Structure 1
Amino acid sequence: MAVSSWTYRAVLRRQLNTLRLMRQRRGQSSKSNSKTAVDEDQVPTPNNIPTLPFWQRLGPLTQAAQAYARVQRRRPLTTQLCTSLVTYFCSDMIAQNAGDEEYDPVRTGRSLLIGGMSSIPSYKWFLWLSHSFNYSSRILSLGTKVFVNQLCFTPIFNSYFFGMQALLAGENVLEHIKRTVPTSIVNSLKLWPAVTAFSFTFVPIEFRSVFAGVIAVGWQTYLMFLNRAAEEEGAREHLVIEESATVAKLQSSAV
């Protein structure tokens, strides 16, 4: 009799616990359903609508940027090559139109060749930089990226740019680099650290090439002017050397 009474109490306790759990689940489901109904019936207001990023609220510009991002995800290398060619073409056209000389298509072809050759390595570099130096401190990560970019990429790229310009123009490569690279590195400190920091902080990775390309139009225009000034300086020095050699030759023949 005692055993049956104990068994009856245990079964009754289990049934009560089961009923209690069922009631809790019903209460939770009814609350979630009522909350969903309230959310569905809620009138959209500025307080309950999530704010879109700035670049997603620019209308046609946003659509163009999204189309560019889709093409870049499908064919990143081809997209980067075309972006670099457009950037260098626009920069060369601005630099030549700002001068007093006639348009030189050879200079444009030279710029397109230099930009096309550097497009893929530059893309790979910034892709690697975006995935590297990611520390727990966001400020440390950003500062390291900017420092490494200025320390490694800027001198190498500027030396390549001015060296190729001199090589394709038939000038002395080392002398041309000495006249242009130090000045370009110093002036790059006024622009590219801020651009790099802003890009890695606010610009999504698929739009960074577009953002950098827009800034690069102005920067490449400056490099074109600097390269042209160095070419003119080299031509003047060469002319002075030729004149000195001619005068010395005439003096020796007169004697």
Structure 2
Amino acid sequence: MAALWRTYLRLLEKHPWKTQVTSTATLMSIGDVVSQVCIESKEKNYDVTRTARFFLFGTCYVGPVLRTWYLTMERIFGASKNRALFKVMADQGCFAPMFLTSFIAGMEFLRGGKLAEIKNKIKQDFVPILMTNYKIWPAVQICNFYFVPFQLRILVVNVTALGWNTYLSWMSEQN
């Protein structure tokens, strides 16, 4: 396990963008697998395409957006620990609502949803997902911004998001 951790840190140092995007996409996919197998009991009807959608969305959208957001917050608020509260307020007040809207819309679009279906899915799922977000992420982010070095923050978010992605996968696939 220690060797795997060292390899990850080495990759993160050499290729931060690729490493963070890949880990985001991988953990999003794992969240979908957990949702399908453990929550929805779909062992026999497992949907590989659905997991591929999560991987694609994580690679092309979520990973790059998270990386850009964290770099932007560092530029705006600086790296000092006393700025952690400002980062949490920006993250939860601005980023979370916009990101969750785009997540719901993007996943519905990748499922083949039309504009009316996408709007309906946002109307149906946004508030419950946002309220659940506020039960989890502010506490995670305050610890993340106070105690975790910048280069490891997305990993902390991704590991926490393993459970979160399981929830999002389940929510995004409800009709």
> TM-score surpassing 0.5?
yes
What is the aligned residue count?
A: 168
For 1:100 and 1:135, how far apart are their aligned partners in 2?
Answer: 44
Given the alignment of the two structures, is residue 150 of structure 1 paired with residue 92 of structure 2, yes or no? yes
Q: CA deviation at 1:82?
A: 1.1
Given the alignment of the two structures, is residue 189 of structure 1 paired with residue 134 of structure 2, yes or no? yes
Which residue among 87, 90, 97 is the counterpart of 2:27?
A: 87
For 1:205 and 1:136, how far apart are their aligned partners in 2?
Answer: 11
Query: Given residue 100 of structure 1, which amino acid in structure 2 is its aligned partner?
Result: S
Given the alignment of the two structures, is residue 65 of structure 1 paired with residue 5 of structure 2, yes or no? yes
> What per-residue deviation string (whole Å, max 9, x for no partner) do you get for residues 87-140 of structure 1?
1111010011021331011111111111112211211111221343249881xx
* 2:103 paired residue number: 161
Alignment of 1:64-213 (within 5 A): 64-98=4-38, 99-101=40-42, 102-118=45-61, 119-134=63-78, 138=82, 141-171=83-113, 172-213=117-158
Unmatched 5+ stretches in structure 1: 1-59, 232-255
Normalised by the length of structure 2, the TM-score is: 0.87
SS at match of 2:91: helix
Normalised by the length of structure 1, the TM-score is: 0.61
SS at match of 1:190: helix
For 1:129 and 1:107, how far apart are their aligned partners in 2?
Answer: 32
Unmatched 5+ stretches in structure 2: none
> What per-residue deviation string (whole Å, max 9, x for no partner) do you get for residues 13-64 of structure 1?
xxxxxxxxxxxxxxxxxxxxxxxxxxxxxxxxxxxxxxxxxxxxxxx44x54
Alignment of 1:14-53 (within 5 A): none
For 2:80 and 2:103, how far apart are their aligned partners in 1?
Answer: 36
Larger of the two Rg values belongs to structure: 1
> What per-residue deviation string (whole Å, max 9, x for no partner) do you get for residues 135-187 of structure 1?
9881xx22111010011211121111111121122331100011111111111
Aligned identity (percent) is: 28
Q: Structure 1 residues 137 and 160, CA, compared in 2 at 3 Å: closer, same or farther?
A: closer
For 2:24 and 2:81, how far apart are their aligned partners in 1?
Answer: 33
Larger RCO (CA within 8 A; separation ≥ 6): 2
Query: Given residue 32 of structure 2, which amino acid in structure 1 is its aligned partner?
Result: D
Q: Structure 1 residues 206 and 67, CA, compared in 2 at 3 Å: closer, same or farther?
A: farther
Root-mean-square deviation (Å): 1.9
Q: Structure 1 residues 228 and 134, CA, compared in 2 at 3 Å: closer, same or farther?
A: same
For 2:150 and 2:86, how far apart are their aligned partners in 1?
Answer: 18
**Do the aligned partners of 1:162 and 1:177 also contact (CA within 8 Å) in 2?**
yes
Q: Structure 1 residues 143 and 167, CA, compared in 2 at 3 Å: closer, same or farther?
A: same
Alignment of 1:217-236 (within 5 A): 217-229=162-174, 231=175
